[in-house]
Amino acid sequence: MTTDLMLRLNEELVNRIRAHGEECYPHECCGALLGREGESGREILDLLPLENRHGDSPRNRFTILPDDFRHAEKVARERGLDLVGWYHSHPDHPALPSEFDRAHAWPWYSYIIVSVEQRQPGQITSWRLADDRVRFIPERIEIADCMVVAHVPPRPDASARG
């Protein structure tokens, strides 16, 4: 299945996602994807690692609470970016969305999954939930060598917020 959905990020951000997955192993890590929607795809320009709030089964589930969501939106605004998705790890499982992932996902957002086998980060994939919420659509990942992460200029309307 080919897809027109494209997600761009740089190698440093990919390495940070993989390191977070390794650090949290054998539990799932999770975090927010901060970036911008562009004409040729979505760009991830920064990450916000979050705490996995899934109390009874963090090894194979992750939960982000409403306060975490609001915090991620606030941090994105402060950095002149948008909250465009989420990432998490799959310890000792493939980087494919689970039924739990589908049931708890929202359309529009990107969902990066990194497989972590025996503490070794592996395959990284990205997905978007279809508008009908029945399936995930694969999102192509382009890893750029030189995207700038630091010193992202704020959006024009960001300076008006106090």
H helix intervals, the chain: 11-24, 66-78, 99-104
Please state, in angstroms and as integers, the Cα–Cα distance from residue 88 to each residue in 80, 83, 97, 110, 130, following that order.
23, 15, 10, 11, 19
H helix intervals, 25-110: 66-78, 99-104
Q: How do beta strands 110-117 and 41-50 pair?
A: unpaired
Please state, in angstroms and as integers, the Cα–Cα distance from residue 62 to each residue in 28, 59, 158, following that order.
6, 8, 31
Q: 87: helix, coil or strand?
A: strand
Q: What is the pTM (predicted TM-score) of this model?
A: 0.87
pLDDT by residue (tens digit) across 103-139?
999 999 999 999 999 999 999 999 999 999 999 999 9
Q: Provide the CA 58 distance to its chain's centre, in angstroms.
A: 17
Contact between 97 and 139 (Cβ < 8 Å): no
CB within 8 Å of 96: residues ≥ 6 apart: 90, 113, 125
> Is residue 146 pLDDT above 70, yes or no?
no
Largest Cα separation within the chain, whole Å, is: 47
pLDDT by residue (tens digit) across 115-125?
999 999 999 99
